[in-house]
Each structure stands twice: as C-alpha cells, then as structure tokens.
Structure 1
Amino acid sequence: MLVGLSCVALLGYGVTAEPSHAAEVKITWEEPESYSDVRPSNESRKRFRERTLNELEAHIVELAADLPESQVLSITVTNVDLAGEVWPSQFVGFGNAGANDIRVIRRIDIPKMTFSYTLTDAAGEVVASEDEVKIKDMDFMESNIRRHRNESLSYEKTMLDEWFSDTFVKQQVAANN
C-alpha cells in the first residue's frame, strides 16, 4: 500500500510501500520543509518537494526489491540536500527570463542525505540498523555515467544505489559465504 506523500510532508506520518516479492518499506520524511535543499527552480516549493520526495521514495522501494520479502526496512529521513544550487536566471547569464530560477550543478554542490534506518526480519528481530547515516557523493559528476543519467534526481539516485549496495547487498553476499 502506498500512502500519498502529501500526508507525510504535511503531517509527518510514515509511508509504507510493498511491491510484490520485496521487503516492506516504511519511510518517514521528518520535517521536510526544513531540509537543506529541496528547492525548486520553476514550480512551487510544496509541489516540488512532494514530487522530489515521492521520486526518491519510489527509488528506495525499487532498491528494496532485492531484500527478502519477509524483511521490513524502516527509514526516517532527516535531511536532503540536492546536487547543485538554485540561482535566479539573471544571476547566471540568462538575463531577465521571467521569474524562473535555474539549478546550477557544480562539483562543489554535492548531493547529501541524512537518515536513520532499521531492517528487521519476519520475527521482528533487528538485522541491521544505524542511528545517523550521512551519505554524500563527492564524485557525483563522474560517477553518474551509469543507470540514471537521463532521469531526474540522477545524482541522488546513484548515491542511494551505492549506499544500498554497500549496506545491504554486500552484507548479504558476505553472510551467504
């Protein structure tokens, strides 16, 4: 069951998503209006934030498809800082192109995310957890020549792919050997 993000963003409730044959995923976006940078370039802040968090959430649910169906992954996100920085269009050489801002991606404006997570098994026993995970991709402009290159939030999705692989996939391989 997928509950709309608008409830999460406005009320702070968790979201549960269950694709078939995958771990159950519960995501809580804690105070998303105070995140470092989920700033739009050409739409309302609320709509951009909801769309962005929905897209990140869908990506995490997709990644959880690799986890056993009997497991539950609970994530509480406390900060998101998208790659790049939003500037008024006239500040970056586009003249007075109306009220539109643009997101400028530079090597120094790296994507970052802070969250906690718990992975539990069918009996409710904790398989893995961490209280404060801080992920960032300092090499995001070079490392993004992969899967998400032509998608929105490609830098953030690649960063999540790497964290998920390092945290769960490599641990599962090691546990099975």
Structure 2
Amino acid sequence: MKTLTITGLALACLLAVGGADAKPRTVADPEAPRALNVEGQVQVQWTDPAQFTELRYSRNRWDAQLGDWVETLAEYLRKQASKMLPEGQKLDVTITDIKRAGDYEPWHGPRLDDVRIMRDIYPPRISLQFTLTDASGQIISQGERKLSDTGYLLNSSLPSNTDPLRYEKRMLDDWLRRELRNDDTTAGL
C-alpha cells in the first residue's frame, strides 16, 4: 500500500513538471508564440490572435481558440513559400487577421455546439502584410492583402480532405501562386 502511494505521488509530480513545458492550450494564450523561429528565406509572424475575427466574433469562442491553428497556418505558409522563392529572395509575412471557414451555430442545440458548420455565408478570410526582397535587400514587392474565398465549398477536389485548415491552406496557396509567380519581377532580373 505504501509503495502504491509513493508511486502515485511520484507519477503526479512527473505529470505536474511535464505540464509546465506543454504548449499553450489556446491560440489566444498571452504566452503563446507570435512568430515562427527565424530560419530560411521566409519569416512569418502574426499579431495577437485574440483580436482576430475568428475569435472576436465567434459564436463559440472557446472552441474557436482551441489548438495551435495559427501556428499551423504560419508553418504551412513558410513551407509553401520556401518552395516557390528563387534563391536569394526573402519573404517576410505578418498575418494580421484570420476568419476560418465555417462557423458555429449554437441554435442547433447542445449536441452541435462545438461543430463548425460550413456554409457559403462563412467563407475563410486572411489579412496579411508582406515584403519580398531580393538577394541585395532591395524591395521587389510589398503590401497588404485581404484574402477571401467565397467559393470555398465549390472545389470538388477537397471533400475527401479531412484537414480542418484545408480551405485556409488552399487560399494561401492561391495567394502565393499569384504573388510569387515566376516572371521578371520575382526572378530578380
């Protein structure tokens, strides 16, 4: 009995210590990161997610802020942009707002309180600022973009995809293809 108590106490201590290093549970946690670690040609940071439309106007703020979806989108953006940038160019992006595809409709009752409903009236939107520079540090392009995909439900290739951020990722892919198209401007010629 005494051994069982000591083992239980030791396990509780390990869990408490392990939990101290755990990532924040919500994207709005003040101690959550606001930028990806600096590496490679693409740097991505974001403003306070508590001010994002996704959280400020959500009908279920608790579920909307769960997880690390902001960091996941930032990592995806960096990965995709890194594949497209010519050698020597750098891209710096600041995400200023996100409204994920779909929304919560609590009026369907408690069984659907935490279900994100996809409808045409809830399109994904992302606002960002960016600066694209060449190898010498000269600005090639910069600006602010407000991305939106009002036809997000019409793409027939996505229904089999179960990624909860698939619509936002597709929107980022479309923006990168438009912004970083391989012509004389982005090739540094």
TM-score interval, normalised by the smaller of the two chains: 0.7 to 0.9
Residues paired across the two proteins, number? 160
Rounded Cα–Cα distance in structure 2 between residues aligned with 1:81 and 1:7: 13
- Superposition CA RMSD, Å: 3.3
As a proportion of its length, which structure holds more strand? 1
One-letter identity of the residue aligned with 2:30: L
Structure 1's unaligned 5+ residue stretches are: none
Rounded Cα–Cα distance in structure 1 between residues aligned with 2:114 and 2:81: 35
One-letter identity of the residue aligned with 1:15: L
Rounded Cα–Cα distance in structure 2 between residues aligned with 1:62 and 1:40: 32
- The share of aligned pairs that are identical, in percent, is 24
**Cα shift readout 1:122-170 (whole Å, capped 9, x = no counterpart):** 211112111x2101011111136259833221110111111110110x2
**Cα shift readout 1:91-146 (whole Å, capped 9, x = no counterpart):** 22xx4439x5211110111100111100112211112111x210101111113625
Rounded Cα–Cα distance in structure 2 between residues aligned with 1:69 and 1:9: 36
Q: 2:154 aligns with which of 142, 151, 174?
A: 142
One-letter identity of the residue aligned with 1:108: I
Q: Quote the offset at 1:46 in angstroms.
A: 4.7
Equivalence for 1:85: 103
Rounded Cα–Cα distance in structure 1 between residues aligned with 2:51 and 2:114: 20
Equivalence for 1:64: 81
Structure 2's unaligned 5+ residue stretches are: 1-22
One-letter identity of the residue aligned with 1:73: L
One-letter identity of the residue aligned with 1:158: R
Equivalence for 2:54: 37
Is contact 1:111–1:137 with CA below 8 Å preserved after alignment? yes
13 and 43 in structure 1: CA distance in 2 versus 1, 3 angstrom threshold: closer
Is contact 1:17–1:61 with CA below 8 Å preserved after alignment? no
Equivalence for 1:15: 36
65 and 139 in structure 1: CA distance in 2 versus 1, 3 angstrom threshold: same
Equivalence for 2:72: 55
